[in-house]
Amino acid sequence: MTDRPVLQMAAPRRGKPPQHFADLNHDERAALMREHGLPSFRAKQLANHYYAHLTVDPDDMTDLPGDAKGPLTEAVFPPLMKKVTQAEADGGATLKTLWALHDNVKVESVLMKYPERATLCVTSQAGCGMACPFCATGQMGLTRNLSAAEIIEQVRLAARAARDGDLGGDPVRLSNVVFMGMGEPLANYKAVIATVRALVAPAPEGFGLSTRHVTVSTVGLVPAIDKAAKEGIPVTLALSLHAPDDEAPQ
Residue 221 burial (C-beta neighbours within 10 Å; 0-12, 13-18, 19+)? middle
Segment holding 151, helix H or strand E: helix 148-163
- DSSP symbol at 64: S
User: Which pTM does this prediction carry?
Assistant: 0.92
- What pLDDT score was predicted for residue 140? 87
Q: Where does the chain show beta strands of DSSP type E? A: 81-89, 94-101, 106-114, 117-121, 125-128, 141-145, 174-179, 214-218, 236-239
Q: Are 111 and 94 in contact (CB under 8 A)?
A: yes
Q: What is the spatial distance between Cα 176 and Cα 157, in angstroms, rounded to a whole number?
A: 14
Q: Are 210 and 152 in contact (CB under 8 A)?
A: no
pLDDT means over runs of 10, the chain (250 residues) = 61 81 96 94 97 97 91 96 96 96 97 95 96 84 97 98 93 97 97 98 96 96 96 95 69
What value does the CA radius of gyration of the chain take, rounded to a whole number of Å?
A: 19
- What pLDDT score was predicted for residue 1? 44
- What pLDDT score was predicted for residue 244? 72
Range list for CATH 3.20.20.70 in the chain: 81-239
Q: What is the pLDDT of residues 205-216, one digit of tens each?
A: 999 999 999 999
Q: Are strands 94-101 and 106-114 parallel, antiparallel or unpaired?
A: antiparallel
Q: What is the Cβ-side half-sphere exposure of residue 250, based on CA atoms within 13 angstroms?
A: 0
- What pLDDT score was predicted for residue 174? 98
Range list for CATH 1.10.150.530 in the chain: 21-76
81-239 CATH, one of 3.30.70.270, 3.20.20.70, 3.40.50.300, 3.40.30.10: 3.20.20.70
Q: What is the pLDDT of residues 142-201, one digit of tens each?
A: 999 999 999 999 999 999 999 999 998 899 999 999 999 999 999 999 999 999 999 999
21-76 CATH, one of 3.40.50.1980, 2.30.110.10, 1.20.1280.290, 1.10.150.530: 1.10.150.530
Q: Are 173 and 158 in contact (CB under 8 A)?
A: no
- What pLDDT score was predicted for residue 248? 63
